[in-house]
């Protein structure tokens, strides 16, 4: 019987205390325990991490690059969401 294809996992690593887990890459593993073990061997050989998350790639829903304009363009027309939009006299100082 041929071995079924091994699932893909995305690997996230917290590099330092206080920082968020950041995506570092992916790997193949049969289950979560083996994925964690492989992530440790593959992505933390030089003290890169304090904590690892592994997520089955199939569970990730990504936005479609073709929807980029529809999704993100509207924010370009809303400068009033940024602090520099508002005029404050210099004598007020830092606000």
Which residues of this protein are in contact with other proteins, per CB under 8 A? Answer: 1, 3-8, 10, 23, 25-31, 34, 41-42, 45-46, 56-58, 62, 64-65
From the CB of 40, what's the least distance to other proteins, in Å?
12
Query: Do residues 55 and 10 make contact, with C-beta atoms less than 8 angstroms apart?
Result: yes
For 44, which DSSP code? -
User: Which residues, at least 6 apart from 30, have a Cβ–Cβ distance to it below 8 Å?
Assistant: 6, 7
Name the residue nearer to other proteins (CB basis): 19 or 30.
Answer: 30
Tokens read off for 32: 């979560």
Tell me whether residue 81 is exposed, middle or buried, using C-beta atoms within 10 angstroms of its C-beta: 0 to 12, 13 to 18, 19 or more.
exposed
CB of 35 to other proteins, least distance (A): 10
Closest contact distance (angstroms) between CB of 78 and other proteins is 24
Task: Say how many residues make up the chain.
Answer: 95
Give 51 or 63: the residue with its C-beta nearer to other proteins: 63
Residue closer to other proteins (CB basis): 62 or 76? 62
Closer CB to other proteins, residue 6 or residue 88? Answer: 6
């Amino acid at each position: 019987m041929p071995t079924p294809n091994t699932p893909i996992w995305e690997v996230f690593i917290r590099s330092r205390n206080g920082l968020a887990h950041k995506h570092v890459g992916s790997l193949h593993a049969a289950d979560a325990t083996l994925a964690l073990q492989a992530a440790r061997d593959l992505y933390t050989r030089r003290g890169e991490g304090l904590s690892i998350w592994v997520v089955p790639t199939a569970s990730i829903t990504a936005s479609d690059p073709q929807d980029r304009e529809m999704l993100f363009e509207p924010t370009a027309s809303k400068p009033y969401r940024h602090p520099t939009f508002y005029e404050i006299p210099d004598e007020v100082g830092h606000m």
